[in-house]
Amino acid sequence: MGFIADSLNRIEPSATIAVSTKARQLKAAGRDVISLSAGEPDFDTPENVKAAAVRAMAEGKTKYTDVDGIPELKAAIVRKFARENGLDYKPSQISVGTGGKQVIYNALLATLNPGDEVVIPAPCWVSYADIVMLAGATPVFAETRPEDGYKLKPEALQAAITPRTKWLIFNSPSNPTGAAYTKDEMKALTDVLLRHEHVWVLSDDIYEHLIYDGLTFHTPAAVEPGLVGRTLTMNGLSKAYCMTGWRLGFAGGPETLINAMRKLQSQSTSNPCSITQWAAVEALDGPQDFIAENNKKFVERRDLVVAMLNQASGLQCPNPQGAFYVYPSCAGVIGKTSGSGAKIATDEDFATALLEEEGVAVVHGAAFASSPAFRVSYATSKDVLEDACRRIQRFCGNLR
Ligand SMILES: Cc1ncc(COP(=O)(O)O)c(C=O)c1O
């Protein structure tokens, strides 16, 4: 009998964290490495948010708080949902956790039993399936296609639902593809969900504000109010507010679920950092104009990366409208051999050889349950992106 729990054997360490760690180690060892693997903006946290944290410390707001958030933050989140999403939650319907990841973890661990199924459109964020499996339940991937802009079609959703389906996890704009749904596209999916009353929706809206080309953000509970009673609308400060290290996520949903999530959190981390919570009040209530400024830079970077990757032989890169990722297909390089003789049989081989030979770290598509492809994060400067894309072009050009 092994010492480590069986449940741990069902899951893998986060592939994105693994690639970022490897890139950092190579850099520390003196290698010239460009990491396009991180899921975080390179911009700094806004000054007013940092100042709110300093104030909170000076005022001694450094003790335990209510497990799932201080009332002031819950009130700010209620205002955010009303102002930005047209959703009418009460404070008792709000949960605050240590990052969006904990909120998702709480929701899934609090509801899933062995045998339950969770529909996850693929490609998808690395952690959804592993959290589902940790809970003993089964992820069911609903495939999306590059020619549909990696957006789930209603027929594919319908086909993935069974009597055992407990959740659909929905993520727009998406990590890793950047795909963002229009209202009509989302309505087509919520229409399917209306016909399946046993299926709940976990909407991961963490990239809400990172949306481009004039597209408007939509979330399922607002598009179809008939789903409010079985939707958890999750969000967080990591991405748009450049606060990945502060660790704050939140969600609005039915009280029975929110209470269960609080119970679980009360026996794990307790409250999220008190100082972060006060900074979060300022982030949500304070000026928001920096988001549009950052987005202008993201669009320039996206355009640069998409254009340059489409010039690399064997790669095909769609032009997504959200988040800070692109997800090029590398089907055209599979079966080839790299300049240094590495066989490229999978997208993981591609990513490994690219890192070894050109010092560019990307995350292979298999980590996101969709191959052969890879994810590039363009949350870094244009100079760095240009250098990285030139290296990718050279790597692809040397394949035989
Ligand atoms: C789609 C998606 N959801 C949730 C998270 C969790 O973010 P955090 O825990 O930093 O709030 C991430 C982070 O990479 C993500 O990409």
57-67 confidence digits (pLDDT tens) = 999 999 999 99
SS3 state of residue 314: coil
Q: What angle do CA 311, 317, 323 make, to 5 degrees?
A: 130
* 70 CA → ligand 1 middle, Å: 22
CA–CA dist 204, 103 (Å, integer): 10
Ligand 1 atom closest to residue 100's alpha carbon, by position in its atom list = 11
Identify the bridge partners of residue 232 per DSSP, sorted by sequence position. Answer: 202
Q: pLDDT category, 54, cuts 50, 70, 90?
A: very high
For residue 121, which of 165, 69, 70, 174 has the smallest C-alpha distance?
174
Find out whether 218 and 180 touch, Cβ atoms under 8 Å: no
Ligand 1 atom closest to residue 248's alpha carbon, by position in its atom list = 11
For ligand 1, atom 16, the nearest C-alpha belongs to 175
AA identity, residue 81: F
For residue 124, how many other CB atoms are within 10 A of its CB? 24
Prediction pTM value: 0.96
CA–CA dist 11, 241 (Å, integer): 30
CA–CA dist 66, 146 (Å, integer): 44
Confidence (pLDDT) at 307:
98
Ligand 1 atom closest to residue 244's alpha carbon, by position in its atom list = 10
* 100 CA → ligand 1 middle, Å: 6
**82 Cβ neighbours under 8 A, 6+ residues apart:** 88, 89
* 112 CA → ligand 1 middle, Å: 20
Confidence (pLDDT) at 259:
98
* Residue ranges lining ligand 1, Cβ < 6 Å: 39, 99-101, 125, 171, 175, 204, 206, 236, 238, 244, 249
Percentage of the chain surpassing pLDDT 90? 92
What CA–CA distances, in Å, run from 212 to 170, 193, 293?
19, 27, 12
Identify the bridge partners of residue 105 per DSSP, sorted by sequence position. Answer: none
For residue 349, how many other CB atoms are within 10 A of its CB? 19
Q: pLDDT category, 304, cuts 50, 70, 90?
A: very high
343-366 confidence digits (pLDDT tens) = 999 999 999 999 999 999 999 999
Q: What angle do CA 320, 123, 32 make, to 5 degrees?
A: 75
Confidence (pLDDT) at 38:
84
For a ligand 1 pocket test, name from 206, 219, 233, 375 the mutation site with the most ligand atoms within 8 angstroms of its C-beta. 206
* 398 CA → ligand 1 middle, Å: 35
Q: On the CB side of 60, how many CA atoms lie within 13 Å of its CA? A: 0
Average pLDDT of the residues of the chain: 96
* 273 CA → ligand 1 middle, Å: 17
Query: How many Å separate Cα 310 from the centre of its chain?
Result: 24
Ligand 1 atom closest to residue 249's alpha carbon, by position in its atom list = 11
For a ligand 1 pocket test, name from 171, 232, 238, 368 the mutation site with the most ligand atoms within 8 angstroms of its C-beta. 238
* 15 CA → ligand 1 middle, Å: 14
Ligand 1 atom closest to residue 104's alpha carbon, by position in its atom list = 4
* 175 CA → ligand 1 middle, Å: 9
CA–CA dist 369, 379 (Å, integer): 22
The mean pLDDT of 15-38, rounded to a whole number, is 88
Confidence (pLDDT) at 18:
80
Confidence (pLDDT) at 363:
95
Identify the bridge partners of residue 168 per DSSP, sorted by sequence position. Answer: 119, 201
* 80 CA → ligand 1 middle, Å: 19
Q: Where are the alpha helices (DSSP H) in 13-168?
A: 15-28, 47-58, 71-80, 100-109, 126-134, 154-160
Find out whether 326 and 378 touch, Cβ atoms under 8 Å: yes
